[in-house]
Structure 1
Amino acid sequence: MQGTGETLDHRFVRWNGGGGWHKNAAGHPDILNKPAQARLSETDAAHGCFADVVANRSIAIDPTVIPGRSRVYIASSDGRRVVGERSADDTSGGIRGAHIDHFSGPGSAATRAWQGSGGDLQNARVKFLGY
């Protein structure tokens, strides 16, 4: 879990330490060594690095490319698929350079809905709208 997660009964929780992270072959933490020792706390919403994360409104970005808290407009390069205005509310360790992660909501239903609407947008056009 990165940052904030959602439980099966739709509460938001955040990891507050404990359990110790195992490192994968690339040296990155991937799973907890002792999950029973992990400390979690409830929180009122999913929190990103810059603001609360909202389904179908928030994106995670590399802040060296797109400034945090900024607004962008996303459409496919041919203009046939429009994602629309999004807010740069979060970052992620896996996002480097000109890459955006769209937050479509928690769980597999949100993932299926995003994929059903066209899924990944390779070579999308992103227009900076300001703060």
Structure 2
Amino acid sequence: MVDGDGLNEKHKEDFLFGAQGIPMQGTGMDLSGQYIALLHMTGKWINNSRGNPDHVLPQNTAFQYVPAVKGKFGLVKENHSIAVDPHVIPGDAKVEIEGVGLRFADDKGSAIKNYHIDNFLGAGNAVVKAWLHGGVNGTQRRVKFLGN
């Protein structure tokens, strides 16, 4: 457990500074259910032995507690929000995803390109297990644009 600039409690080091944690995702939920957002990050990613981004240096980051996850186009809510490429699906758009249901384009991401959509299912280990073992990871589904 380590300190983070702007936080009044200690948190897991990989959660605050790792490539699977807040720096990559922008916002994360801590063990007590509070949302923590990256306020700013200076410097570059430190690569692991395979040359992949692995972590950031603590002195190059600052965080803040936030009441909710804020996406590019609105608040991000589980089982409601998707991240899109706004060149394909505009922000604030409403879509119907086959087998998933109605979703709203509340966010975009630097890795979201072309026809890729990220469906926000929530946070925590239960969501990760459901995603990895529920047969939905990497699936292709029809998406119907319903307008803004």
Classify the TM-score, shorter chain. Answer: 0.7 to 0.9
Instruction: Indicate how the Cα distance of structure 1 residues 46 and 129 shifts in structure 2: closer, same or farther if over 3 A, else same.
Output: same
The match for 2:90 among 67, 87, 97 is 67
Maintained 8 Å contact 1:23/1:30: yes
* Structure 1 residue 117 displacement after superposition: 4.2
Match of 1:31 in 2: 55
Q: Does 1:101 align with 2:124?
A: no
CA distance, structure 1, for counterparts of residue 116 and residue 146 of structure 2: 17
Instruction: Indicate how the Cα distance of structure 1 residues 67 and 18 shifts in structure 2: closer, same or farther if over 3 A, else same.
Output: closer
Match of 2:35 in 1: 12
Q: Considering only aligned residues, what root-mean-square deviation do their CA atoms show, in Å?
A: 2.4
* SS of 2:102 mapped into structure 1: strand
Match of 2:108 in 1: 91
CA distance, structure 2, for counterparts of residue 38 and residue 120 of structure 1: 31
Maintained 8 Å contact 1:50/1:90: yes
Q: Does 1:124 align with 2:147?
A: no
Q: Does 1:46 align with 2:63?
A: no
TM-score by length of 2: 0.73
* SS of 2:126 mapped into structure 1: helix
Higher helix share: 2
TM-score by length of 1: 0.81
How many pairs were matched up?
123
Gaps of 5+ in 1: 76-81
Greater relative contact order (Cα < 8 A, sep 6+): 1
Q: Give CA-to-partner distance per residue, 1:24-68, whole Å, 9 cap, x none.
A: 59x996521x22552111111011111111011111100000001
Amino acid at match of 1:109: A
CA distance, structure 2, for counterparts of residue 64 and residue 105 of structure 1: 25
* SS of 2:131 mapped into structure 1: helix
Q: Which has the larger displacement, 1-10 or 112-121?
A: 112-121
Maintained 8 Å contact 1:17/1:40: yes
Instruction: Indicate how the Cα distance of structure 1 residues 29 and 51 shifts in structure 2: closer, same or farther if over 3 A, else same.
Output: farther
* Structure 1 residue 122 displacement after superposition: 2.8
